[in-house]
Amino acid sequence: MIIQILLIGAVLVLMVFFLRNHGTTRTAAGVKIGFVLFILFGVLAVLWPDALTVVADLVGVGRGTDLLLYGLVVAFAFAMVNTYLRFKELELRHARLARAIAVQSAEPPALDHEEKNVPSAS
Amino acid sequence: MSEYDDVWLIVPVYNEAQVICDVVQKARLTFPNIVCVDDGSRDASVSEIRKSGAHLVRHPVNLGQGASLQTGIEYARTQPGARFFVTFDADGQHQVEDVVRMIDRLREEPIDILVGTRFHGDTSHIPWIKRVVLKTVVALSPRTRRMKLTDAHNGLRAFNKTVAEGLDITINGMGHASEIMAIIDHKGWRVAEEKVTIIYTEYSMAKGQSLINGVNILFDSALRSSRR
């Protein structure tokens, strides 16, 4: 009973955290829908542990825990790719920002050697 | 004024203090306009560039060679009178005479971009391991074969304003060479090859792309093409 409360509580906290960090793109929305489904699955699995085994049997996996493990591996791989893409995007934004600064503060060459001795106007 | 006033050399620089001043001064005898993009070097590269008479654009942080090229291109293409652009390595392995030939061809032939190739005639001066790796990269890329290019990872390229305006390199690191090929292919620019000589000095060999970096290039390219 206590573990059920703990798990559902953790899932709710995660969900609130996730929704508050909302992105803007359609991809981000897709990720969120996937996450909500994952949460629903988690809640159902906690409330009816036997159902997991039934589902596992249905899809040809021996035990419910195995099914859970497989699901976790897939979700983890998915999250890793998502993170990688996210980092790439951030890297690109970071590069564009740095580029803007670099071009703004560009230094044209100093006067050529023959002109160097001429006193400047300022 | 020189007949190459409308040409801009773009030189990405990362920790090249030993050679950059010589390389730029030699190139400036022919090409007056050179922009060096310092990619956050930790050595004296910046002061060497200031001495050399090149324009200096400094990345506030290290970003990678692809990002440096893009920065150089964006700087050069806004300069008044700029018509042709050349990406040129800082370590002195590219020849000014090759660039002159490329620019002359760009002026006369209907070509948007010329890519250097080191695979012509006698290739025994190219270290065998480099030969094998570069040939493998070309063989593995159907796009490069379709475009009839033999040396997609050659850093020496000359192109016109259309290409300079259209290029948007998003791979900051070393995978940018394949990305440039992908952009050329995607935009349908007219591309051709020019035979160039790469001089392998001990210095340039020590600085060159390591083999292990090929793994990074492949990985970046695979993920990029899956998203395009």
What's the pLDDT tens digit per position in A52-67? Answer: 788 777 777 778 787 7
Is a pLDDT exceeding 50 seen at residue A115? no
Chain A residues with beta carbon closer than 8 angstroms to that of B61: 98
- Rounded to the nearest integer, the mean pLDDT of chain A is 74
Rounded mean pLDDT, B78-97: 93
Q: Which 3-state string (H, E, C) describes B22-75?
A: HHHHHHHCCCCEEEEEECCCCCCHHHHHHHHCCEEEECCCCCCHHHHHHHHHHH
Residues 6+ apart with CB under 8 A from B24: B11, B34, B36, B49, B52, B53, B54
Tell me the whole-structure pTM to 2 decimals. 0.76
Cβ A102–B60 below 8 Å, yes or no?
yes
* d(C-alpha B194, C-alpha B200), whole Å: 18
Beta strand B157-160 with B113-117 is antiparallel
Per-residue pLDDT at A4: 64
Residue carrying the six token digits 């409308």: B6
Cβ B58–A105 below 8 Å, yes or no?
yes
Could you say which of B55, B223, B227 has the minimum Cβ distance to residue A107?
A: B55
What's the pLDDT tens digit per position in B101-116? Answer: 999 999 999 999 999 9
Cβ B55–A92 below 8 Å, yes or no?
no
What's the pLDDT tens digit per position in B168-226? Answer: 998 887 778 888 988 998 999 999 999 998 888 777 666 655 666 667 667 766 665 54
ipTM: 0.80
Cβ A98–B56 below 8 Å, yes or no?
no
Distance from CA of B163 to the nearest CA of A (A): 19
Chain B residues with beta carbon closer than 8 angstroms to that of A101: 60
What's the pLDDT tens digit per position in A23-60? Answer: 556 667 777 787 888 888 888 888 887 887 887 777 77
* d(C-alpha B74, C-alpha B47), whole Å: 22
Report the range of poorest mean pLDDT among A6-10, A93-97, B209-213.
Answer: B209-213
Buried b (16+ CB within 10 A) or exposed e, A34-43: ebeebbeebe
Q: Are B13 and B38 in contact (CB under 8 A)?
A: yes
Interface of A with B (CB under 8 A): 84-85, 88, 91-92, 94-95, 98-99, 101-103, 105-110, 112
Cβ B75–A103 below 8 Å, yes or no?
yes
What's the pLDDT tens digit per position in B35-68? Answer: 999 999 999 999 999 999 999 999 999 999 999 9
Give the closest residue to B69 by CA, choosing from A95, A89, A51, A69. A95
